[in-house]
Amino acid sequence: MHCPISNMYLASGAAQIPEMVQKGIPVALATDGPGSNNNQDMVETLKTTALLHKVTAMDARAFLPEDILWMACRGGAEAFGQPDLIGSLDVGKKADIVLIDLNSPFAVPVHRPVSSLVYNLNGSNVDTVIIDGKIVMQGKEITMLKELLEECRKAAASLMSKIK
């Protein structure tokens, strides 16, 4: 699990990710927790991973955008020992999908969508998230949150009615 922002935040150094990848070691990307990152933005982690390893290796081609997305998706599936269940859009796998809105002043004009995703955008550009086939975010609104808030309102109203 590679958490580059956390590594930098804690000044723990840069993990030897290019070497690990060359040796065939699966590398997953993550944000770590709020105590050592202050953010849970996976899109930000894509850019940070690419830039950290470019500057560490002093090589602008250390990781291409496709390499970074591979680590975020397939690398995670392999690192967790579930490459047959998750990590790519294939028949029989869990349907986890993130749709990104590229219509942003930070990305337009989009010449290469994969480059725009890795270098130009952040979590606020996530439009829709589908986890195991269930839409949990749509139109940049967390649909699960609406359901949860409604449940909370009903529970609070029920509790208040018992107090009166």
pLDDT at 37 over 90: no
Give the model confidence (pLDDT) of 126-147 as tens digits: 999 999 889 999 999 988 887 8
Q: What is the per-residue pLDDT for 36?
A: 82
Separation of alpha carbons 72 and 57, rounded Å: 20
CB environment 129-155: b (16+ within 10 A), e (fewer): bbeeeeeebeeeeeeeeeeeeeeeeee
Percent of the chain with pLDDT over 70: 99
Domains of the chain: 1-90 (no CATH), 95-164 (2.30.40.10)
